[in-house]
Amino acid sequence: MSDDSTISLNSEEYLIREGEESTQMFFLQSGTMAVFKRKGDTTIQIGTIYSGEVVGEMSFLDKEPRSASVKAISECVLTVIPSEKFEKTLNALPAWYKALVHTLLDRLRRANSRIRV
């Protein structure tokens, strides 16, 4: 039996808001979500998340504020992955694996910061 908790969102409900602190990431079991970024006074959709994908992983992993907002564009069911559970799993892996995760995350953050919205 799994100890994972799930949450459900209706269309137009926000899961994550840009700038928030992060203690969880999510696995999208079903539904579709949109990723938005603020640009001045406007908000621009920069991506779509489909079932089977992870949501909120960047700030969850590097402890930086959320870099974008995410809201449901259909009914969604998500598995909640709390930081304690992830850290326990990650700490059981070899040091090189943790270094790989952090290197990829750093490169992705830098690449994202160069993208003009």
The per-residue pLDDT for range 50-68, each reduced to its tens digit, is 999 999 988 887 788 898 9
Cα(71)–Cα(31) distance, integer angstroms? 11
Measured CA to CA, the distance from residue 26 to residue 79 in angstroms comes to 5
Q: Which residue has the tokens 């949501």?
A: 55
**Superfamily assignment of 5-114 in CATH?**
Jelly Rolls (2.60.120.10)
* Structural domain spans, the chain: 5-114
pLDDT in tens, 6-50: 999 999 999 999 999 988 999 999 999 999 998 889 989 999 999
**pTM of the model as a whole:** 0.78
In angstroms, the CA 21 to CA 107 distance is: 20
